[in-house]
Amino acid sequence: MALIELHSVHKTYEMGSEVVRALDGVSLEVEQGEYLAVMGPSGSGKSTLMNVVGCLDRPSSGTYVLNGEPVQDFDDQELASVRNREIGFVFQTFNLLSRTDALHNVELPLIYSGLARRERREQAARALEQVGLGDRMHHQPSELSGGQRQRVAIARALVNNPSILLADEPTGNLDSSTSAEILELFDQLQEAGNTVILVTHEEDIADHTRRQVRLMDGRVVSDHTTATVAGG
């Protein structure tokens, strides 16, 4: 059984009198431990697909089975529970609390999991060590570089041991050398067994992955394994 199974997924929005087909019959399977890029120009449907895969939105029709659960029928509370348990999000803008140190930022998803405070702190500290920031736990975002802030965001995404790490343009606000460091970290996380999905429009970023899925007008137009992996 695949970790992600999308079958004939449609997502439509009403914009006044117009119906926009953001996803138009997408079928896709992703196995545990895969490393793939979702690509496409602006308006291709990649952000909508990310929202559906990340349980931030439901399909208008079709089925989505995540880790054996038919999540397309879940209510908001059930979707929130699945998100917290199964998905780790990494965003282009980091989305860190500015007046809170790295440790507390990483700890945030655990507050909803019912763990005792000491366990939360220990788990958050381990996640920061995993991304190479064990010596920056008590620094606030303003005291960290862009690359370090994104590492904090990745640690936060990892802290619940999710099934999927979902990264939306994760290097969009970083310079080229810092981007390379973050992509190397994603490589290491995938090699350690994590399932990593990058949403990107940049070819050189996608070249780090092992599989590329391209969208156009809400449809999958190509899906292939990457012949050569950057740095590999």
**Residuewise pLDDT in 10s, the chain (232 residues):** 899 999 999 999 988 889 899 999 999 999 999 999 999 998 899 999 999 999 999 999 999 999 999 999 899 999 998 998 899 999 888 899 999 999 999 999 898 778 899 999 999 999 999 999 999 999 999 999 999 999 999 999 999 999 999 999 999 888 889 999 999 999 999 988 999 999 998 898 899 899 999 999 999 999 999 865 444 4
Q: What's the pTM value of the predicted model, to 2 decimals?
A: 0.90
Spatial distance between the Cα atoms of 35 and 118, rounded to a whole number of angstroms: 33
Please state, in angstroms and rounded to a whole number, the distance separating the CA atoms of residues 134 and 136: 6
**Beta strands 35-39 and 211-216, pairing class:** parallel
Q: Which fold has domain 4-225?
A: Rossmann fold (3.40.50)
Residues in CB range of 68: below 8 A, 6 or more apart: 1
Tokens of 23: 């996803």
Structure tokens at 2: 């695949």
Please state the domain extents for the chain: 4-225
